Chains A and B, each alone.
Chain A
Amino acid sequence: MADYKSLYQEVILDHNRKPRNYGTLEHASHHAVGHNPLCGDHISVALNLDRECIDCIAFQGEACAICKASASMMTAAIKGKTRGDAETLIQEFLAMATGKRDLDGLPHIGRLAVFAGVRDLPTRVKCAILPWHTLHAAFNSVASTSTEAEEDPMHAPIGNA
């Protein structure tokens, strides 16, 4: 069993206390809301793609520390990156959180490795991956916030992860 220190590490607690890129974007090209129906938590992710580069991203919502820290670190990790880089990171994060791949096989995961411990807590995996599913849903939405917000991104197909 994972000791709480292995999941509730200082970096996660810090991102929960002071989430980075928290709030809304005035001119978002992509937007989605992700719900976790198990607990009622929800996270919204908005970003602006300038050609293929994510030049700004923000999130907000009601969520547990694992989910909020995951969202905060996600936004920090992909800001300034290309959409392709972000899609790669989504795959790697999901593979890590669901225990499908070891950290050795995840070349881009970096500091996000602090979430590796959720694989031992099946009920918390969804908390950690909700922001990533939501980001994936946002990438696949039209350039407005409209009806996509009604869809549950937990069901959005995500590559082969």
Chain B
Amino acid sequence: MGSFDVERIRADFPILALKIGGKPLAYLDNAASSQMPQAVIERLVRYQTTQHANINRGVHYLSETATFEYDEARRKLQRFINVREDREVIFTSGTTEAINLVMHGYGRKFIGAGDEIILTTLEHHSNIVPWQMLAEEKGAKIRVVPINDAGELLIGEYEKLFNERTKFVGVTHVSNALGTINPVKQMIAFAHAHGVPVLVDGAQAAPHMKVDVADLDCDFYAFSGHKLCGPTGIGILYGKAALLERMQPFKGGGDMILSVTFEKTTYNTIPHKFEAGTPPIAAAIGLGAAVDYLSAIGMEAIAAHELDLLNYATAEVNRVPGVRILGTAGKKAAVLSFTVDGVHPHDVGTLLNQEGVAVRTGHHCAQPVMQRFRVPATSRASFAFYNTLAEVDALVAGIRTVQKVFA
């Protein structure tokens, strides 16, 4: 594993030392939520013990400190994904809210009857359902990019979906159920050639690779803090300023206005126009600390270590007869979705848990993917940079135990 000192990194995460039923915890459910390093925990404590007040309001010391730290967190997120201007970073409660913001703010204003929205088979429900709600409201139509047996998007089919009615594209950067890394840069360029804006769901990409929204040239990019070693209840939407300015507000309330009378309200400038009410200040500052932590390790080093884990896990799981891996794309993030012949994923998950191995079982909020592979559910091991080869071994040993129990 070269110079990547995983044991030193693990020492930063108090929760990784837990034992589950007497067995060492092997936490392989990072695609659902990642764990928090001590540095982020301490940042939250420092904020609450010495810096907390409401932001953008008071003239007193604490309010000014909290406002500065909150804005500073925004600038950290700006640098993390290479955004041109900090006003293009909007704090949301997470990826789901970010996508809903775009649906309400952009979709309800600019998408109408007969218009078409392109999504892909690989989308999480959070990048399907908001668009279905919009389509139902407006009489618009959803078009879906199919995948091949490896779980890769059929880019030729994607390109054929475009016509003069195409008004929007929503695509996930990385599939949460299969790990496929989609060629989003190429897809964005094609959409732009047709004058169509693109939203990229980065929930599974931002924690695992260097994301550069300027290079991608996407119009919107969304991700969640809690999958990125940060707190729950916080995430961001990146949007191009020119689009954000033309969009209508998503929620009304305090902070998103310049002036209010009962006759007329003037909306605030971006990003404030989209941040009504008191935001999760502590969570935003915690997320800022999380991206500092990740950046210090380096996203390239993180991606390299996770690829080692994926390659080792894929080889080891493939050696176990009666286990099928779903998602064999050429470019994958460290997600291993699998089924064990004759054993329901819930039984796999319960038995692995009793070996200390935490995996996700179910449809992963990606039922179209499950339908494509004709399975009701899978078990999914998803890795982070703090996972080890020994934890892969624990997973494989656990799968063998499952097979023994059900033999």
Interface of A toward B, CB cutoff 8 Å: 1-4, 7-8, 13, 16, 38-41, 62-66, 121, 123-124, 127
Given contacts A1-B20, A38-B362, A40-B376, contact A64 B344 (CB under 8 A): yes
**For residue B370, which residues in chain A have a CB less than 8 angstroms away from its CB?**
40
Q: Report which of B21, B361, B376 forms a contact with A1, defined as CB distance below 8 A.
A: B21
Q: Are B344 and A124 in contact (CB under 8 A)?
A: no
Q: Is the CB of A65 within 8 A of B347?
A: yes
Q: Which of A3, A4, A65, A123 contacts B344 (CB 8 A)?
A: A65
Q: Is the CB of B343 within 8 A of A65?
A: yes
Mark B352-368 against chain A: 1 for CB-CB distance below 8 A, else 0.
Answer: 00100000011100010
Q: Are B351 and A8 in contact (CB under 8 A)?
A: yes
Nearest CB on A from B375, distance (A): 10
CB pairs A–B below 8 angstroms (7 shown): A4-B351, A13-B406, A38-B362, A39-B377, A40-B363, A41-B376, A66-B350
In the complex the two chains form, what is the Cα distance from A66 to B344 in whole Å?
A: 9
Interface residues of B (CB under 8 A from A): 20-21, 343-347, 350-351, 354, 361-363, 367, 370, 376-377, 405-406
A40's contact among B350, B354, B377, B406, by CB below 8 Å, is which?
B377
Query: Do the beta carbons of B346 and A66 come within 8 Å of each other?
Result: yes
Q: Which of A13, A16, A64, A66 has the most CB of B within 10 A?
A: A64
Q: Are A64 and B354 in contact (CB under 8 A)?
A: no
Contact indicator B346/A8 (Cβ below 8 Å):
no
Chain A residues contacting B346 (CB-CB under 8 Å) are 39, 41, 64, 66, 123-124, 127
Q: Give chain B nearest CB distance to A43 CB in angstroms.
A: 12
Chain A residue at minimal CB-CB distance from B375: A40
What secondary structure prevails in chain B residues at the interface with A? mixed
In the complex formed, the residue of A with least CB distance to B363 is A40
Q: Are B350 and A124 in contact (CB under 8 A)?
A: yes
Contacts A38-B362, A64-B346, A127-B346 given; does A8 touch B376 at CB 8 Å:
no
Nearest opposing residue in chain A for B407, CB measure: A13
A121 and B21 contact, CB distance less than 8 A = no
Using known A-B contacts A41-B376, A124-B346, determine if residue A65 contacts B406 with beta carbons closer than 8 Å: yes
- Please, which residues of chain A bring their CB within 8 A of the CB of B345? 39, 64
Q: Is the CB of B376 within 8 A of A3?
A: no
**Closest residue on chain B to residue A38 by CB atoms:** B362
In the complex, how many angstroms separate the beta carbon of B177 from the nearest chain A beta carbon? 14
Query: Which residues of A sit under 8 angstroms from B376, Cβ to Cβ?
Result: 39-41, 62
Q: 6 tightest A-B contacts by CB? A: A64-B344, A1-B21, A64-B346, A40-B376, A4-B354, A65-B347
Of the candidates B21, B344, B362, B405, the one whose C-beta lies within 8 Å of that of A63 is: B344
- Report the separation of the CA atoms of residues A65 and B344 in the bound assembly, to the nearest whole angstrom: 7
* Cβ of A62 to closest chain B Cβ, rounded Å: 6
The residue in chain B whose Cβ has the minimal distance to the Cβ of A63 is B344
In-complex Cβ contact of A121 among B343, B350, B361, B377 (8 A): B350
The chain A residue sitting closest to B346, CB to CB, is: A64
A63-B361 Cα distance, complex, nearest whole Å: 13
A13–B403 Cα distance when bound, in Å, is 12
CA A41 – CA B21 in complex, angstroms? Answer: 28
Whole-angstrom distance from the CB of A119 to the nearest CB of chain B? Answer: 14
A66 near B20: Cβ-Cβ < 8 Å: no
For A124, the chain B residues whose CB sits under 8 A away are 346, 350
**B23 nearest in chain A by CB position:** A1
* CA distance in complex: A96, B113 (Å): 54
- Report the nearest B residue to A40, measured CB to CB: B376
Query: Closest CB of chain B to A52's CB: distance in Å?
Result: 35
Write out the residue numbers on chain B whose beta carbons fall within 8 Å of the beta carbon of A65. 343-344, 347, 406
A3 near B362 with CB under 8 A, answer no
Known pairs A3-B21, A3-B354, A40-B376. 9 more at Cβ < 8 A?
A4-B350, A7-B350, A13-B405, A39-B376, A40-B370, A41-B346, A62-B376, A65-B344, A121-B350
CB proximity of B372 to chain A, nearest CB, Å = 14
Which of A38, A39, A41, A127 has the most chain B CB atoms closer than 10 A to its own CB? A39
- With a cutoff of 8 Å between Cβ atoms, the chain B residues found around residue A127 in the complex are 346
Chain A residues with CB below 8 A from B361, complex form: 39
C-alpha gap A63/B350 in the complex (Å): 14
Q: How far is the CA of A66 from the CA of B343 in the complex (A)?
A: 11
Q: In the assembled complex, which residues on chain A have CB atoms less than 8 Å from the CB atom of B21?
A: 1, 3
A39 touches B350 (CB 8 A): no
Separation of A39 and B367 alpha carbons in the complex (Å): 10
A54–B345 Cα gap in the complex (Å)? 33
